[in-house]
Amino acid sequence: MKNKKKEIILGVTASIAIYKACQLIRQLKEEGFSVTVVMSKEAGKFIRPLVFQSLSGNKVYQGLFAPVQTWEIEHVALADKANLVLVAPATANIIGKLASGIYDDLLTCIISATRAPVLICPAMNENMYKNKVVQDNIKRLKLYGYRFVEPKIGRLACGRKGWGRLAEPDEIIKEVKRILKNKSGAVAK
């Protein structure tokens, strides 16, 4: 069953798993979602915004202080139009900032302003993922109502096999659809 153009804000952070965001966009669009990509500044070192713009068919947002195109506050306007904010891949850095209430870039400001559910899909080295601080941050965010698709065991960028591999797009989309079907998925702030 196709969705009626629900708006997904896809936050993309600087992880080698960023390549999976391309497939995620394609599959979300095939499911009938509109996808707007918001990239962290560092994510642009891995993939150019033009790739995401071409795949999504929408403007890609990168900076909190980009030149004004319209007379609306960008992070609030994007937060308001979202049916769901999806962060995939999510680094330890973005998880830590959100858990600590640090909203110093466009993506974190959108998340702080949205009333839509937020789904976080971590991707990082196993040692980082299992780090007690990272695990405490994930627990804190779950207490606040943030949702997670946990990483998997697999080959990591460092060449080792372990926890931290970004979940496959099929699994992420399954959770997106589950959350959006259940309207009580809003994040408590």
Task: Return the pLDDT at 63.
Answer: 72
Domain-wise residue ranges, the chain: 7-181
As to burial, measured by CB atoms within 10 angstroms (0-12 exposed, 13-18 middle, 19+ buried), residue 59 is exposed
What's phi and psi for 46, nearest 5 deg? -95, -45
Q: What is the DSSP letter of 43?
A: G
7-181, CATH topology level: Rossmann fold (3.40.50)
What's phi and psi for 183, nearest 5 deg? -65, -10
Q: Which residues are catalytic?
A: 158
Task: Return the pLDDT at 5.
Answer: 82
Write out residues in the chain with pLDDT < 70, as ranges.
1-4, 64-77, 80, 156-158, 183-189
